């Protein structure tokens, strides 16, 4: 501010008089340039030019005041500021009130300023603000308590719902009208008989006779419910569904009641050439498949043929991974109902290899066992090439889904947390998941057996698909370019064990044990062995293999109808070959999917996932998803009058 000397007494008196008329206390008059024109005695004695906020604050306050008074022309502009008393250094507050007026001398715009002590008011404001802050903090604490209580209520509700669903699953097993799968199994009956004898309890003679007759049958499956065939074929279940379930779970026994294959299959069609060409036996497997041998993308695949062809030409996983794909991969590690189709659209042709490599890296297995990342990627890419994208269901996207669910069960379902598996068994389980349908041809074991397919011949009609998946994948792993375990010398094709002299992290014994785990797991995916699944290793992969039963309803329905289309294609082949069309595989008879799903959930799905959650409670969310989809199929069947 610039202070000018008082002018002539008449001018000064004129200004003092005008100021006094407005307000006699602490009053100063400034022109529009900020120059002091006049001030009364009290104002002059209290005036000081220092500003507590410094020059920058003073400039800001000055600019704000000039704009308000001379540009905006407000009636009164107020500015409060603290200052320290010289005597005691205590902070005081002053209020500067500014009114526009005309200089009585020059008649130019001026501003009249009055200073008031508002310290008491400020102290009250600060006290009130403190109380408001205290109340706000208290209110925030109450809101946090409320949120915590609501979260606890939701948690309790989820637990109640979970218990209700588990109870429902138990009631489904215990109180439903008895079918074949409510009957005791033969091994349980035998065990009860032995316990009764040990404890000296009386044994019913008829039960002993029945047990003897059952055991006398050389083909009796001890873990299969007693009288399964007769129970399934009784009234209460659609005949096509019953026959389909029998074929699924008891294929060899069901074929005994059917005409001989020689009477049914035309001689010239017994081994169709087209079908032979689509399968590769282990002995003739080629490591580097020519591009022309790769299967084309069918109408089921969502990605383009050029994109898949480009991905298949790679021996390593494409890089870099985009942020969007990275987010999907992170979601796959935590989401029980992950959308695998979205990831497949974003990673055409390399979804399986990318996801499997991601979960193996994330789990720390790659580092822990010093796995060769380049060879691991090459192995995964070669395995992915073995899945035909034109097959509606048993394709690489299905297998990627199985890998993702396997990872969830291991890391989020309580399997690893409970120490139910060792780290080497975890590694073996990932490999089992990625190879469990390797080179699947889109038809089931029954088709291979009744058409005398070379795979059925090779494996003596015993799980030809699953044996082929394992054997052919093992041959891929044995190739020098794909042995991702650290080895001390290059492999030889003559004897696998000759080059399994592993160094540092993995012993030959561990590799043998991991191979045993994979064999048990993959062979356990054969539905004919459903009742033989006893180990948690087999149960885990089996749950993952049918994991779409627990998927979000839209995803589950998509998988169900893709599986139905694969069934229809097998039925088409059976019709061309002059074979009886398998139950639920005749595309001319619609509605079978809705009917069969209720039966499949009741007989296979719900008991399987209930057994899993009985062992690992953290996997209960999958059982909840299964029950939700089961109720939807029940409602659909009821609405359709099925």
- End-to-end Cα spacing for the chain: 95
pLDDT value of residue 87: 72
What's the mean pLDDT in 209-217? 63
State the pLDDT confidence band at 184, using cuts at 50, 70 and 90: low
Q: 293 pLDDT exceeds 50?
A: no
112 and 64 both lie in a single domain: yes
d(CA 272, CA 451): 8
pLDDT value of residue 416: 93
Last-in-domain residue among 117, 147, 172 = 117
State the pLDDT confidence band at 127, using cuts at 50, 70 and 90: confident
370 and 416 both lie in a single domain: yes
| Percent of the chain at pLDDT exceeding 70 | 68
Task: Say how many C-beta atoms besides its own lie within 10 A of residue 443's C-beta.
Answer: 24
Tokens (6 digits) for 609: 């996932």
317 and 389 both lie in a single domain: yes
Range with the poorest average pLDDT among 102-106, 421-425, 527-531, 573-577: 527-531
Last-in-domain residue among 117, 135, 168 = 117
Q: Domain count of the chain?
A: 3
Instruction: Look up the domain containing 71 and give its range.
Output: 2-117
Helix (H, G, I), strand (E, B) or coil at 602: helix
222 and 317 both lie in a single domain: no
Cβ atoms of 473 and 383 closer than 8 Å: yes
Kindly give, in sequence order, each residue whose CB lies less than 8 Å from that of residue 317, ignoring residues fewer than 6 positions away. 350, 353, 354, 357, 377, 380, 381
Q: 188 pLDDT exceeds 50?
A: yes
pLDDT value of residue 275: 40
Last-in-domain residue among 117, 149, 171 = 117
189 and 86 both lie in a single domain: no
pLDDT value of residue 53: 57
231 and 281 both lie in a single domain: no
State the pLDDT confidence band at 406, using cuts at 50, 70 and 90: very high
Q: What is the pLDDT of residues 373-393, one digit of tens each?
A: 999 999 999 999 999 999 999
Is residue 358 flagged as an active site residue?
no
pLDDT value of residue 639: 87
Residue 135 falls within a domain, yes or no? no
Range with the poorest average pLDDT among 10-19, 176-185, 404-413, 620-629: 176-185
More confident residue, 384 or 121: 384
Range with the poorest average pLDDT among 55-69, 205-219, 530-544: 205-219
Q: 126 pLDDT exceeds 60?
A: yes
pLDDT value of residue 51: 55
Q: Which of 42-51, 238-247, 593-602 has the highest mean pLDDT?
A: 593-602
Residue 291 falls within a domain, yes or no? yes
Q: 106 pLDDT exceeds 70?
A: yes
Range with the poorest average pLDDT among 112-116, 303-307, 599-603: 303-307
Q: 469 pLDDT exceeds 60?
A: yes
Residue 378, exposed/middle/buried by CB under 10 A (0-12, 13-18, 19+)?
Answer: buried
Q: How far are the Cα atoms of 375, 414, 506, 521, 623 from residue 363, in angstroms, in the given order?
A: 18, 14, 17, 20, 25
pLDDT value of residue 164: 80
Residue 413 falls within a domain, yes or no? yes
- Could you say which of 26, 358, 394, 556 is catalytic? 394
Q: Where are the alpha helices (DSSP H) in 577-619?
A: 592-600, 606-615
pLDDT value of residue 162: 80
Range with the poorest average pLDDT among 208-217, 310-319, 610-619: 310-319
More confident residue, 319 or 490: 319
pLDDT value of residue 349: 93
336 and 424 both lie in a single domain: yes
Residue 385 falls within a domain, yes or no? yes
Q: What average pLDDT does the structure give for the chain?
A: 77
State the pLDDT confidence band at 558, using cuts at 50, 70 and 90: very high
433 and 539 both lie in a single domain: yes
297: left (phi over 0), alpha (psi -120 to 50) or beta: beta
Q: 279 pLDDT exceeds 70?
A: no
Q: How far are the Cα atoms of 30, 165, 539 from residue 160, in angstroms, in the given order?
A: 76, 9, 26
Q: 348 pLDDT exceeds 50?
A: yes
More confident residue, 581 or 256: 581
Beta bridge partners, 185, equal: 225
Angle between helices 373-385 and 305-312 in degrees, nearest 10: 140
Q: Which of 116-130, 135-149, 437-451 has the highest mean pLDDT?
A: 437-451
pLDDT value of residue 536: 63
pLDDT value of residue 285: 34
Residue 305 falls within a domain, yes or no? yes
| Percent of the chain at pLDDT exceeding 90 | 34
Beta bridge partners, 28, equal: 39, 113
Domain at 87, CATH number? 3.30.450.20
d(CA 572, CA 406): 33
d(CA 186, CA 166): 26
pLDDT value of residue 58: 74
Cβ atoms of 526 and 463 closer than 8 Å: yes
Residue with tokens 């409060």: 80
d(CA 338, CA 348): 17
Q: What is the pLDDT of residues 494-507, one digit of tens each?
A: 444 444 444 445 66
Residue 426 falls within a domain, yes or no? yes
Domain at 307, CATH number? 1.10.1300.10
* Cα radius of gyration (the chain): 41
Produce one character per residue of 348-364: b if its CB has 16 or more CB atoms within 10 Å, e if not: bbbbbbbbbbbbbeebe
Range with the poorest average pLDDT among 148-162, 170-184, 297-311, 444-458: 297-311
Range with the poorest average pLDDT among 227-241, 476-490, 532-546: 227-241
pLDDT value of residue 47: 60
Q: 76 pLDDT exceeds 60?
A: yes
Asked if omega into 320 is within 30° of 0 (cis), the reply is yes
Q: 130 pLDDT exceeds 90?
A: no
Residue 525, exposed/middle/buried by CB under 10 A (0-12, 13-18, 19+)?
Answer: buried
More confident residue, 195 or 169: 195
Q: 543 pLDDT exceeds 60?
A: yes
Range with the poorest average pLDDT among 245-254, 260-269, 375-384, 485-494: 260-269
510 and 594 both lie in a single domain: yes
Residue 169 falls within a domain, yes or no? no
pLDDT value of residue 295: 36
Q: 303 pLDDT exceeds 60?
A: no
298 and 210 both lie in a single domain: no
State the pLDDT confidence band at 556, using cuts at 50, 70 and 90: very high
Q: How far are the Cα atoms of 19, 51, 128 from residue 117, in angstroms, in the given order?
A: 19, 16, 19
State the pLDDT confidence band at 277, using cuts at 50, 70 and 90: very low
Residue 249 falls within a domain, yes or no? no
d(CA 305, CA 309): 6
Distance of CA 155 to the CA centre of its chain: 20
Q: 419 pLDDT exceeds 80?
A: yes
315 and 371 both lie in a single domain: yes
232 and 362 both lie in a single domain: no
């Amino acid at each position: 501010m610039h202070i000018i000397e008082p002018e002539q007494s008449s001018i000064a008196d004129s200004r003092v008089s005008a100021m006094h008329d407005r307000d006699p206390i602490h009053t100063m008059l400034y022109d529009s340039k900020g120059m002091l024109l006049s001030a009364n005695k009290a104002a002059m004695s209290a005036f000081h030019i220092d500003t507590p906020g410094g020059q920058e604050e003073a400039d800001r306050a000055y600019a704000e005041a000039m704009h308000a008074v001379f540009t905006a022309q407000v009636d009164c502009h107020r500015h409060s500021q603290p200052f320290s008393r010289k005597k005691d250094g205590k902070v005081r507050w002053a209020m500067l009130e500014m009114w526009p007026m005309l200089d009585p001398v020059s008649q130019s715009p001026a501003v009249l300023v009055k200073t008031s002590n508002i310290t008491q008011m400020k102290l009250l404001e600060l006290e009130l603000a403190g109380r408001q802050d205290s109340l706000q903090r208290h209110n925030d604490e109450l809101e946090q308590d409320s949120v915590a209580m609501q979260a606890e209520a939701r948690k309790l509700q989820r637990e109640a719902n979970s218990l209700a669903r588990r109870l429902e699953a138990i009631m489904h097993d215990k109180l439903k009208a008895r079918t074949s799968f409510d009957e005791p199994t033969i091994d349980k009956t035998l065990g009860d008989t032995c316990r009764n004898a040990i404890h000296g309890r009386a044994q019913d003679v008829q039960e002993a006779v029945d047990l003897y007759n059952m055991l006398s049958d050389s083909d009796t499956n001890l873990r299969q419910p007693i009288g399964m065939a007769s129970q399934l074929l009784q009234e209460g279940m659609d005949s096509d569904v019953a026959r389909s379930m029998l074929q699924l779970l008891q294929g060899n026994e069901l074929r005994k009641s059917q005409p001989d294959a020689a009477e049914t299959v035309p001689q010239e069609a017994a081994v169709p050439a087209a079908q032979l060409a689509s399968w590769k036996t282990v002995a003739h497997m080629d490591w580097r498949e020519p591009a022309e041998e790769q299967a084309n993308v069918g109408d089921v695949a969502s990605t383009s043929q050029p994109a898949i062809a480009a991905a298949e030409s790679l021996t390593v996983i494409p890089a870099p991974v985009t942020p969007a794909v990275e987010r999907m991969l992170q979601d796959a590690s935590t989401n029980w109902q992950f959308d695998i189709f979205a990831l497949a659209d974003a990673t055409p042709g390399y979804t399986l290899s990318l996801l499997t490599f991601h979960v193996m890296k994330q789990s720390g297995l790659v580092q822990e066992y010093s796995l060769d990342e380049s060879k691991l990627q090459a192995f995964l890419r070669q395995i992915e090439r073995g899945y035909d994208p034109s097959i509606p269901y048993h394709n690489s996207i299905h297998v990627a889904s199985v890998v993702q669910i396997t990872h969830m069960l291991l890391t989020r379902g309580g399997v690893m947390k409970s120490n139910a598996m060792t780290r080497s068994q975890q590694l073996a389980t990932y490999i089992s998941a990625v190879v469990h349908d390797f080179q699947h041809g889109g038809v089931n074991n029954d088709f291979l057996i009744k058409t005398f397919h070379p795979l059925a011949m090779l494996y003596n009609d015993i799980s030809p698909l699953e044996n082929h998946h394992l054997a052919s994948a093992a041959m891929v792993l044995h190739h020098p370019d794909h042995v991702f375990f650290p080895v001390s010398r290059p492999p030889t094709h003559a004897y696998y064990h000759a080059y399994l002299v592993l160094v540092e992290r993995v012993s030959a014994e561990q590799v043998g044990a991991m191979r045993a785990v994979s064999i048990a797991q993959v062979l356990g995916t054969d539905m004919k062995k459903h009742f033989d699944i006893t180990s948690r290793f087999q149960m885990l992969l089996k749950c993952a293999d049918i994991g779409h039963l627990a998927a979000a309803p839209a995803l589950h329905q998509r998988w169900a109808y893709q599986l139905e289309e694969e069934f229809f294609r097998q039925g088409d082949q059976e019709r061309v070959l002059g074979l009886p069309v398998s139950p639920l595989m005749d595309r001319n008879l619609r509605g079978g999917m809705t009917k069969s799903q209720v039966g499949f959930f009741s007989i296979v799905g719900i008991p399987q996932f209930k057994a899993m959650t009985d062992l690992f409670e953290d996997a209960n969310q999958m059982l909840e998803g299964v029950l939700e989809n089961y109720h939807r199929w029940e409602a659909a069947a009821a609405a359709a009058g099925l």
